[in-house]
Amino acid sequence: MYLCLMHIDIITVLPDLMQSPLSHSIMKRAQEKGLLTVQVHNLRQWPVNEYGQVDDYQYGGGAGMVLMCEPLVNAIEQLQKERAYDEIIYLTPDGKTLNQRIANSLSLKGHLLLICGHYKGIDQRIRDHYITLEISIGDYVLSGGELAAAVLTDAIGRLLPGVLNDETSALTDSFQDNLLAPPVYSRPADFRGWRVPPILLSGDPKKIEEWRHEEAIKRTEERRPDLLKE
């Protein structure tokens, strides 16, 4: 049995939406190995009335509902009694854009609480008084924070030591050294006359490593020159 390295709590109004993305492949393995635990909490466990209400219209008018203060405060404060969080993260399109550096740094923490907004988002006072980090997964608007929370959990979870084996090592991922990953090939060496670069068949690890590095630079220059300036 491994030592649990990371516990992530997620507060959402759509708990079912969170289940599938975290129940397969590497995320499944991380949890089976006990390296990562993820607990999804339905915000409707903390409603303001017997109708299960957790959202309301926004002051000042305008379309769209807002997740209210009280259910979120009750949820956060109950969870805080069980754990001290390193970060309480709100997933929102106006947050800091997620990148590998942020994922690497969050993977070193122990306890994270992720809050998923829905509809128009959450009451600003929660952001002012509880949230320690706001993260966006890109410049586009999703229907809610759930898929963003799943993306963040995956990006962090796969970095925990012991989750990936040599074959899937994160060290050769795109972005780990601000370079995109080089092209990869598998059998057969010749498919319809489309041949694998001969150097990959040479059996010379040093030359192969050099080729991969050159290809990574070439690809990054072509597709993401901004990464080379960081």
The least distance separating ligand ADE from the CB of residue 110, rounded to whole angstroms, comes to 23
Select the span of 29-37, 54-62, 130-138, 216-224 touching ligand ADE (CB under 6 A): 130-138
Going 117 to 123 to 124 to 129, the CA torsion angle's sign is negative
Residue 138 sits in the site that holds ligand ADE (CB under 6 A): yes
Alpha carbon distance 224, 202 (integer Å): 29
* Pair type for strands 87-97 and 111-116: parallel
DSSP category for residue 23:
S
Residue 43 sits in the site that holds ligand ADE (CB under 6 A): no
The nearer residue to ligand ADE, 123 or 215, going by C-beta atoms, is: 123
Can you tell me whether residue 166 is helix, strand or coil? helix
The least distance separating ligand ADE from the CB of residue 226, rounded to whole angstroms, comes to 19
Interacting residue with ligand ADE among 148, 155, 164, 180 (CB under 6 A): 148
Select the span of 3-11, 43-51, 88-96, 100-108 touching ligand ADE (CB under 6 A): 88-96
Residue 157 sits in the site that holds ligand ADE (CB under 6 A): no
Within a 13 Å sphere around the CA of 73, how many CA atoms are in the beta-carbon half? 10
Select the span of 122-130, 137-145, 160-168, 195-203 touching ligand ADE (CB under 6 A): 137-145
Can you tell me whether residue 40 is helix, strand or coil? strand
| Residues constituting the chain | 230
- In the chain, the largest separation of any two C-alpha atoms, in whole Å, equals 70
DSSP category for residue 66:
E
Touching ligand ADE, residues 89-118 (CB under 6 A): 91-93, 117
Instruction: Give the residues lining the site for ligand ADE (CB under 6 A).
Output: 91-93, 117, 136-138, 140-142, 145, 148
